[in-house]
Chains A and B, each alone.
Chain A
Amino acid sequence: MGPWARMLWTLLSGLRGRRGGIQGWAFGLWPPYLPQPRLLSPTELVSHWTRVFEKRGIPEARESSEYIVAHVLGAKTFQSLQPVLWTQPLTPQQLQCVQELCSCRLQRMPVQYILGEWDFQGLSLKMAPPVFIPRPETEELVEWVLEEMAQRPHVMEAQDGPRILEVGCGSGAISLSLLTQLPKSQVIAVDKEEAAISLTCENAQRLQLQDRIWIVPLDVTSEGSWMHLLPWGPMDLVVSNPPYIFHQDIEQLAPEICSYEDPVALDGGEEGMDVITSILTLAPQLLKHSGSIFLEVDPRHPELVSSWLQSQPDLHLNLVAVRRDFCGKPRFLHVQKSGP
């Protein structure tokens, strides 16, 4: 017990020291925004920070303060917080915690990084900068894949289930949600960034899915990279949310994105097609006959991809379907292999 207790104590006092530091810094910078010394209820605290965020031009002021307060109180959203807690005052420790997290938001840090976790398809995933934060559109990509898989009973009921390759796994959102919903499936997730690889590993372990996923550091844009994936055998499916933003648009992104998220996960080159074409080039070597590729892309891409595929008949790939996202933008592509 002795050494353990000492270790814990050191850890805790270290934490306290760090917190003190942040607090002092916050005090120095924004004295007028500090809540009054009396204890506030969650509802009052949310409106206080909403006003502060609005004044400082922070986007989604109310949502941000609601998520932060709810998180400190142990709930995912303010709406799902136990109604009894809405009017009960927070403890000084909780107030301070809210204070610290909100000062990060004033620095335009994305709420997902501040909370250190976010939800995707019903899974709670750890989020850490600079790994790309999954967007709600991508949930629809997963839905589409699941719908398509449900229509292929021969793949679903095969002995070793569908084998799926994800290119650019980031936090592992797509791979892990597919693994949860397809209990027999196996996934090979690749990413070229070390941070993404370790975050996917961690999330897989948190969700107890590490036995069915292989996480491989790999850059698909480099020559002959597909050779490294051959040992895992032919795939039923390739799925990806590759970087697809046109290079000239990168500068116009909000500070939340351009100063916190890894540009490698966003910048798709001049026409946003760099990684897309790499995937389409390597996929035929790895896919089974009539295997599929599902991609999330920019609304300008369906036409670009279609004409690019026509210029590459050797790949034996056809764009078979385009699907719109919940905003009505053509966002998802289904490309199928037709040749040998």
Chain B
Amino acid sequence: MNRHLYVWLFRHPSLNVHPWCHSYVHSYQFKQLHLKTRLCVLGQNDNYILHYILSNWSRKYCHRDTRMIWKHKTFQKYMEDLTKEYQTLGQSLQEIPVDEADRRDMTQRHAELAPLAAIYQEIQKAEQAVEELESMCKSLNEQEEKQLQELALEERDTIDQKINTLYGELYESLLPKEKYDKNDVILEVTSGRTTGGDICQQFTREIFDMYQNYSCYKHWKFELLNYTPADYGGLHHAAARISGENVYKHLKYEGGIHRVQRIPEVGLSSRMQRIHTGTMSVIVLPQPDEVDVKVDHRDLRIDTFRAKGAGGQHVNTTDSAVRLVHIPTGLVVECQQERSQLKNKEIALRVLRARLYQQIIQKDQCQQQSARKLQVGTRAQSERIRTYNFTQDRVTDHRIAYEVRDIKEFLCGKKCLDQLIQRLLQSANKEAIVELLDENLNLKIQSSVFGRHELKHI
């Protein structure tokens, strides 16, 4: 657990009601010591420390209280800084003559900040309006003014909603655009092999169907690339290409291990009403453009199933299946969707390119060393993200502690799934904001420590 949390709980005894905090209380003395030492180092700058603590705290809780972050001092401060920067830039661009290169940089930064400042200003106006309404409500105590009070409350609710949407916009423009959000994807499902083989395969089919339905719900194009069924209507492995608007953005948090808990429909366990647990994994690969990943044909080994004999006019085979082996990485892709061997090769190459692209992205993200819970990459692909408990008719997403009651409806891949995905996107946005603030603060702390040292030397 986060050490800062104990400190925070200690400083706010009124909130000290969480059941599990007792077990950690004994450590607070040490933590306070730790805090004191840091306070000594920084002296008057303890303000920042407090922010730092709070921002770390808020990361853990941001999905519980949506308004937490933006009510937060750190965030307010950050926004004020940005607004101030915007204003100074605007002034200096007008007044002070600067050389060409500087001027270009400044203009660019100014343009970047403009929409942020505009939205923030609007938010502040709206918040002011809310405050005024609230103070007005307080002064209206008389019986006959009740109607007016109701009107005021109604008005406040509408403004509140507006503020909510404005903050959504603000997040969107604050956060760097995710590089691959607009890309199409290749979605692969594989059934788990460990326990309860049958239920894994059945579950894999249900999940694959769910994504097919979801693509239909979102008006995306769903092309089957590969389908290996298991006995009794299950599915071992399947892959599909999904193309449309912002497909990767919506599906990127679907990658990972999905767990199922249910009583099998046939066999001994069914008669004994024994609950089995199984898994399947989903991999979501953003589909690269031709230019993003170059595959050198010398690195490819292409296996077709007619490599023996004279070939050409001497033989007439219909087997058009193609297997591509990418020698440097050992990746293998197979395709037998088409009657034309050349078309199969093209499809296989497309899949291969997507896999190579995924590796590049993973490398990128490993370097970022992000602490976010919702992240796409190696870790997320092998992490258990969701449990489908059929006996309790419940779907739980472990990353944001979200529950859906009706499994059947959820597996239809329509509104229920879409709601969960929207929630995931919101949480991811919030986590990203917290990270942004954290980075900003770390920079400030570092610079302030550095500044003091310098002063001492002087």
**A→B interface (CB under 8 Å):** 43, 59-60, 63-64, 67, 76-77, 79-80, 83, 86-87, 110-112, 118-122, 132-133, 135-137, 139-140, 143, 241, 243-245, 249, 253-254, 256-257, 261, 265-266, 296, 298-299, 325-327, 329, 331
Pair B339/A118 contact, Cβ less than 8 Å: yes
A298 to B319, CA, bound (A): 21
The 8 Å CB contact of A136, one of B226, B238, B320, B337, is: B320
Within 8 A of A (CB), among B282-322: 302, 304, 306-307, 310-320
Distance between Cα atoms of A244 and B343 in the complex (Å):
26
Q: B227 and A63: CB pair below 8 A? A: no
Are A83 and B318 within 8 A (Cβ)?
A: no
Nearest-neighbour CB distance to chain B for A275, whole angstroms, equals 12
- How far is it, in angstroms, between the C-alpha of A79 and the C-alpha of B319 when the chains are bound? 12
Most buried by A among B235, B313, B342: B313
Determine whether the beta carbon of B316 is less than 8 Å from that of A257. Answer: yes
Question: What separation, in Å, do the CA atoms of A239 and B177 have in the docked complex?
Answer: 50
Q: Does B121 contact A (CB under 8 A)?
A: no
Whether A67 touches B336, Cβ cut-off 8 Å, given contacts A136-B342, A327-B307, is no
Shortest CB distance B89–A (Å): 48
Chain B residues whose CB sits within 8 angstroms of the CB of A136 once the complex forms: 304, 306, 320, 340-342
A80 to B226, CA, bound (A): 8
Q: Which single member of A77, A326, A327 contacts B338 (CB below 8 Å)?
A: A77
B230 CB, nearest partner CB in chain A, Å: 11
In the complex, chain A residues whose CB is within 8 Å of the CB of B311: 135, 137, 299, 325, 327, 329, 331
Inter-chain contact A63/B319, CB cutoff 8 Å: yes
Ordered by A's residue number, 16 sampled pairs between the chains whose C-beta atoms are within 8 Å are: A64-B318, A67-B318, A79-B224, A79-B227, A80-B224, A83-B227, A83-B229, A112-B318, A119-B340, A135-B316, A140-B342, A254-B315, A265-B313, A298-B312, A299-B310, A327-B307
CB closest residue in chain A, given B342: A139
Name the B residues within 8 Å of A122 (CB-CB).
340, 342-343
A276 to B319, CA, bound (A): 29
B233 within 8 A of A: yes
| Chain A residue at smallest Cβ distance from B334 | A79
B contact residues around A298 at 8 Å (CB)? 310, 312
**Contact B338–A119 (Cβ < 8 Å):** yes
Task: Point out the residues of chain B lying under 8 angstroms from A87, CB to CB.
Answer: 233
Contact size range, B: 20 to 34
The answer for the CA separation of A79 and B311 in the assembled complex, in Å, is 25
Q: Which A-B residue pairs are the 9 nearest by beta carbons?
A: A119-B339, A136-B341, A119-B340, A139-B342, A111-B318, A80-B337, A63-B319, A79-B336, A79-B337
In the assembled complex, the Cα of A60 lies from the Cα of B316 at a distance in Å of 10
Rounded to whole angstroms, the CA-CA distance of A249 and B311 in the bound complex is: 13
B306's partner among A43, A76, A253, A327 (CB-CB below 8 A) is: A327
- Chain B residue at minimal CB-CB distance from A62: B319
Question: Smallest CB–CB gap between A247 and chain B, Å?
Answer: 13
Q: How far is the CB of B280 from chain A (nearest CB, A)?
A: 16
Please indicate the chain B residues that have their CB under 8 angstroms from the CB of A43 in the complex.
229
Structural contact, B312 and A63, CB atoms closer than 8 A = no
Q: Which residue of B lies closest to A117 (CB)?
A: B339
- Chain B proximity of A101: nearest CB distance (Å): 13
CB contacts (< 8 Å) of B307 on chain A: these are 327
Within 180-239 of B, Cβ neighbours of A (below 8 Å) are at 205, 224, 226-227, 229, 233, 235, 238
User: Which of B155-170 touch A at CB < 8 Å?
Assistant: none
CA distance A83 to B307 in the complex (A): 30
- CB contacts (< 8 Å) of B226 on chain A: these are 79
Determine the chain A residues whose CB is within 8 A of the CB of B343 once the complex forms.
119, 121-122
Q: How far is the CA of A112 from the CA of B318 in the complex (A)?
A: 8
A-chain residues with CB within 8 Å of residue B320 when the two chains form the complex: 77, 136
Q: Give bound CA distance, A95 to B232, whole Å.
A: 22
Beyond contacts A60-B318, A63-B318, A83-B235: 10 other A-B pairs, Cβ-Cβ < 8 A, are A76-B339, A77-B320, A83-B229, A86-B229, A87-B233, A136-B341, A137-B312, A298-B312, A326-B302, A327-B307
Task: Write the chain A residue with the least CB distance to B231.
Answer: A43
What string of 1s and 0s marks CB contacts (under 8 Å) between B97-113 and chain A?
Answer: 00000000000000000
Verify B318–A139 contact, CB threshold 8 A: no
Residues of A within 8 A of B205 (CB): 83
- The winner among A135, A245, A249, A253 for most chain B CB atoms within 10 A is A135
Interface members, chain B 104-153 (any A CB < 8 Å)? none
Q: CA of A265 to CA of B233 in the docked complex: distance in angstroms?
A: 46
Given A83-B227, A83-B229, A111-B318, also A245-B339 (CB < 8 A): no
Which residues from chain A contact B313 at a C-beta distance below 8 Å? 132, 135, 241, 243-245, 265-266
Contact status B316-A256, CB under 8 Å: yes
CB neighbours of B227 from chain A (8 A): 79, 83
Let me know if B304 and A326 touch, CB within 8 A.
yes
Q: In the complex the two chains form, is A60's CB within 8 Å of B319's CB? A: yes
B110 to chain A, nearest CB (A): 44
| Docked-complex contact B342 and A143, CB < 8 angstroms | yes
Given A83-B227, A122-B343, A137-B311, residue A77 in contact with residue B233 (CB < 8 A)? no
- Give CA–CA (A6, B355) in the complex, Å: 58
Contacts of B316 in A (CB 8 A): 110, 112, 133, 135, 254, 256-257, 261
- Smallest beta-carbon distance B46→chain A, Å: 63
| Distance, CA A235 to CA B119, complexed state (A) | 65
Of A63, A327, A329, the residue contacting B304 (CB under 8 A) is A327
CB distance from A58 to the nearest CB of B (A): 12
B338:A76 contact, CB within 8 angstroms: yes
CB pair B342 A77 closer than 8 Å = no
A59 and B315 CA atoms in complex are apart in Å by 11
A327 to B224, CA, bound (A): 28
B428 to chain A, nearest CB (A): 32
Q: How far is the CA of A112 from the CA of B314 in the complex (A)?
A: 16
Bound-complex Cα distance A18 to B216 (A): 43
